[in-house]
């Protein structure tokens, strides 16, 4: 029987596949709002801003790690899996936050950093002193030589030269896929697996609605392989899913597997749907940026064609930006060169295998931002938005690591952008003050007051997405058009059909779509509610402004004969329909 958590009564109504209709907002607690003036965002500050998030229209929050940690990888270096970092508040603050979020119908997804800990975690301190072969030692992966698992790639190429680090206390090398201060846990050890399940229970009992499984492809190692996506890793995920389903029912597991589509779909439990409910579509993300710059639909259509079907219960998580670099691991060498040339001509903007910039500075114009969001909110998958991108926040790639995209949220034009009452020097990171993206110009208050702002546009777009279930759950099919600058596709769910047509070019474009199968149907544009000409047997022609897109609802013939006044070719098919 699923367990009801304390505060369970306040959780939003159960719906086993709620994640399919979700609009997720990614937020680092420390970046959102500082309630106590110490310069660091915290849970009580996040509570203050929940109404803003409700108003924006998001339905779920994904919180970055908030656990005790030395903070050398922004909390992905865990020192205690069940506590709360004192900078962010207490466990009671988390409980209060969950109750407030749930009261507003907002679900909350946390992090499960299961692949590795901080070297400050008591498990590692105990392991390095424990005799080789003992269960305590075996919490981590040790070796006498750094030559084992030589086929595993290095992920943080800017800082690490090996996946092994020497520990003088243990007198052995330990395995780490990320920073050398993040030793990998040894999932071969049943105690490690038990510890993880207990951590899952801790947070799901408290009321979290889901967990993002950080760096999940790397749980197991095997010599002679890339040490990614191994069968044992999938077996553990099946065990985890069973555990969560049996005890909690409607909670979400979201895989962070930066992999090619055929390997990524395996995280759904290929065919069976018995691993994660959702997985990020990493290869799609850079191709949205490529298509925009090339003014050609090919990269998007091609990767979606290469994406195998997914189980009925599964859903992709799709995104434009997040707290990491815009990763270019899932592109070819030529595509990577192109992306660097197009989006990061300054080498300082590059880090590891990617680009450390936010969405607005990457693409520049409002038109391009709306176009990318128009695609993100209508392509198959649940959209994940990154905090601050809804107001077009800027970045600062001269800050260390990926900190340039993690600066304080910009609430208003006044002191510390309304983020904190601390003196400016105490802020955990400096505010954005370059002339174009200065917080005095780019902030929530200014955009709230301007109905023409990006923020207001985002609210409208998110609202439409939520009102039209085919955008969330619908089937997907590309609609052919000879003009390669234009991408068109249809999403269908039950009786609703939505046609998306987007112009990737900076110039106006004409396109013709073969919609003969829909002849007789009316067409309504979603943002305006305006009626377009009926569909006939002839190619359906549309003129699109530079970087513009249309979300068109195809109406049923019955709805059309309901008597809306229309002009042009509309009447002909209407008569034909009557004759039939
Ligand atoms: C993926 C996270 O998104 C990233 O921020 C982190 O550095 C690595 N995992 C290591 O935990
Ligand atoms: Ca604080």
Q: What is the pLDDT along the chain (580 residues), one digit of tens a residue?
A: 455 444 444 566 668 899 999 999 999 999 999 999 999 999 999 999 999 999 999 999 999 999 999 999 999 999 999 999 999 999 999 999 999 999 999 999 999 999 999 999 999 999 999 999 999 999 999 999 999 999 999 999 999 999 999 999 999 999 999 999 999 999 999 999 999 999 999 999 999 999 999 999 999 999 999 999 999 999 999 999 999 999 999 999 999 999 999 999 999 998 899 999 999 999 999 999 999 999 999 999 999 999 999 999 999 999 999 999 999 999 999 999 999 999 999 999 999 999 999 999 999 999 999 999 999 999 999 999 999 999 999 999 999 999 999 999 999 999 999 999 999 999 999 999 999 999 999 999 999 999 999 999 999 999 999 999 999 999 999 999 999 999 999 999 999 999 999 999 999 999 999 999 999 999 999 999 999 999 999 999 999 999 999 999 999 875 555 444 343 333 333 333 333 2
pLDDT for 270 equals: 80
End-to-end CA distance of the chain: 55
Q: How far is CA 488 from the centre of its chain?
A: 23
- CA 213 to chain CA centroid, nearest Å: 12
Q: How far is CA 320 from CA 280, 381, 562, in A?
A: 11, 12, 40
Which segments within 360-484 are labelled E, that is strand?
Answer: 382-386, 475-478
pLDDT value of residue 576:
38
* Residue positions annotated with a catalytic role: 214, 256
Residues 283, 285, 288, 290, CA torsion sign = negative
- CA 460-461-462 angle, to 5 degrees, is 95
What is the Å distance from ligand 2's center to 510 Cα?
53
Residues 363-383, buried b or exposed e (16+ Cβ, 10 A)?
beeebbbbbbbbbbbbbbbbb
User: What is the number of the ligand closest to the CA of 323?
Assistant: 1
In sequence order, the 6+-apart residues with CB closer than 8 A to the CB of 150 are none
- Taking the C-alpha atoms of residue 78 and residue 475, their distance in angstroms, rounded to an integer, is 40
CA distance 563 to 545: 30
Q: Which 3 state secondary structure label does DSSP give 576?
A: helix
Counting from 1 in the atom list of ligand 1, the atom nearest the Cα of 77 is 11
Q: Ligand 1, closest atom to CA 215? A: 9
**Amino acid 556: pLDDT:** 84
pLDDT at 13: 65
| CA dist., res. 40 & res. 426, Å (int) | 8
Angle at 450 between CA 446 and CA 455, to 5 degrees: 75
- Closest ligand 1 atom to 73 CA: 7
Ligand nearest to the CA of 182: 1
Give the closest residue (by CA) to ligand 1 atom 5.
324
**Cα–Cα–Cα angle for 234, 237, 243, rounded to 5 degrees:** 150
State which ligand 1 atom lies nearest to the alpha carbon of 322.
Answer: 3
Q: Where are the alpha helices (DSSP H) in 57-121?
A: 91-103
Mutate to test the pocket of ligand 1, among 178, 259, 321 (most ligand atoms within 8 A of CB): 178
CA of 214 to the centre of ligand 1 (A): 7
Ligand 1: residues with CB < 6 A are 73, 76, 113, 178, 214-215, 256, 323-324
What is the H or E stretch that residue 469 is in? helix 469-473
Give residue 75 CA to ligand 1 midpoint distance, Å.
9
Distances (CA, A) of 436 to 255, 289, 361, 395, 443: 36, 21, 9, 10, 12
Structure-block tokens of residue 78: 């865990």
Query: Checking DSSP bridges between strand 350-351 and strand 326-327, what pairing results, if any?
Result: unpaired
pTM: 0.95
* 3-class state of residue 275 by DSSP: coil
Strand partners of residue 252: 210
H/E run at residue 56: helix 50-56
What distances in angstroms separate CA 292 from CA 107, 261, 332, 500, one per listed residue? 32, 21, 17, 16
Spacing, Cα 37 to ligand 2 middle (Å):
6
Q: Residue 557 has what pLDDT?
A: 72
Q: Which residue among 213, 214, 326 is best mutated to probe the pocket of ligand 1, counting the most ligand atoms within 8 A of its Cβ?
A: 214
The residues, any chain, with a CB within 8 Å of residue 243's CB and separated by 6 or more, are 197, 200
Residue 422 is predicted with a pLDDT of 98
Q: Residue 559 and residue 50: Cα distance in Å, rounded?
A: 39
The owner of tokens 């109406």 is: 555
Q: How far is the CA of 34 from the centre of ligand 2 (A)?
A: 4
Start-end of H helices in 18-155: 29-32, 43-48, 50-56, 91-103, 122-129
Calculate helix-pair angle for 298-305, 284-294, nearest 10 degrees.
Answer: 150
Closest ligand (CA of 93):
2
CA angle 153, 157, 159 (to 5 degrees): 130
- Position 8 scores a pLDDT of 45
């Amino acid at each position: 029987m699923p367990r009801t958590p304390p505060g369970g009564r306040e959780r939003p109504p159960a719906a086993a596949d709620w994640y399919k209709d979700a609009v997720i907002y990614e937020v680092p607690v420390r970046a959102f709002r500082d309630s106590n003036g110490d310069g660091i965002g915290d849970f009580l500050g996040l509570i203050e801003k929940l109404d803003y998030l409700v108003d924006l229209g998001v339905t779920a929050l994904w919180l970055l790690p908030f656990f005790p940690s030395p903070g050398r990888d922004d909390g992905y270096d865990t020192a205690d899996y069940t506590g709360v970092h004192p900078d962010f508040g207490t466990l009671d603050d988390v409980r209060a936050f969950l109750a407030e979020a749930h009261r507003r119908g907002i679900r909350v997804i946390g992090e499960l950093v299961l692949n590795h800990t901080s070297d400050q975690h008591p498990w590692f301190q105990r392991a390095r002193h424990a005799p080789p072969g003992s269960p305590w030692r075996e919490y981590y992966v040790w070796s006498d030589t750094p030559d084992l698992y030589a086929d595993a790639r290095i992920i943080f190429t800017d800082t690490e030269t090996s996946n092994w680090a020497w520990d003088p206390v243990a007198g052995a090398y330990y395995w780490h896929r990320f920073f050398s201060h993040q030793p990998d846990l040894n999932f071969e050890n049943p105690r490690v697996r038990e510890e993880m399940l207990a951590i899952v229970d801790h947070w799901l009992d408290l009321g979290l609605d889901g967990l993002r499984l950080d760096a999940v492809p790397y749980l197991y190692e095997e010599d002679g392989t890339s040490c990614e996506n191994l069968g044992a890793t999938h077996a553990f995920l099946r065990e985890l899913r069973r555990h969560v389903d049996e005890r909690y029912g409607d909670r979400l597991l979201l895989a962070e597997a930066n992999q090619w589509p055929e390997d990524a779909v395996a995280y759904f439990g290929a065919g069976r749907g018995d691993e994660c409910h959702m997985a990020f579509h990493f290869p799609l993300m850079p191709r949205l940026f490529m298509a925009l710059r090339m003014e050609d639909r090919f990269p998007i259509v091609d990767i979606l064609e290469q994406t195998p079907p997914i189980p009925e219960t599964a859903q992709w998580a799709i995104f434009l930006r997040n707290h990491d670099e815009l990763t270019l691991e899932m592109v070819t060498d030529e595509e990577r060169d192109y992306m660097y040339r197009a989006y990061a001509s300054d080498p300082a903007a590059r880090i590891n295998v990617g680009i450390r910039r936010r969405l607005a500075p990457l693409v520049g114009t409002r038109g391009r931002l709306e176009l990318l969001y128009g695609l993100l909110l209508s392509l198959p998958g649940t959209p994940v938005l990154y905090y601050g991108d809804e107001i077009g926040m800027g970045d600062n790639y001269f800050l260390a690591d990926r900190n340039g995209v993690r600066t304080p949220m910009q609430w208003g034009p006044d002191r510390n952008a309304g983020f904190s009452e601390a003196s400016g020097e105490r802020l955990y990171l400096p505010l954005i003050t370059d002339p174009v993206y200065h917080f005095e110009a780019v902030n929530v208050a200014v955009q709230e007051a301007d109905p023409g702002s990006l923020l207001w546009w985002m609210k409208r777009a998110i609202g439409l997405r939520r009102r039209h279930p085919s955008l969330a759950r619908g089937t997907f099919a590309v609609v052919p058009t000879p003009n390669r600058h234009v991408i068109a596709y249809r999403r269908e769910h039950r009786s609703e059909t939505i046609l998306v047509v987007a112009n990737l070019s900076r110039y106006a474009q004409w396109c013709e779509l073969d919609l003969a199968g829909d002849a007789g149907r009316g067409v309504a544009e979603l943002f305006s509610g305006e009626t377009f000409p009926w569909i006939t047997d002839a190619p359906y022609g549309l003129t699109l402004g530079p970087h513009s897109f249309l979300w068109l609802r195809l109406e049923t013939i019955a709805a059309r004969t309901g008597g809306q006044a229309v002009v042009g070719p509309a009447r002909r098919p209407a008569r034909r329909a009557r004759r039939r």
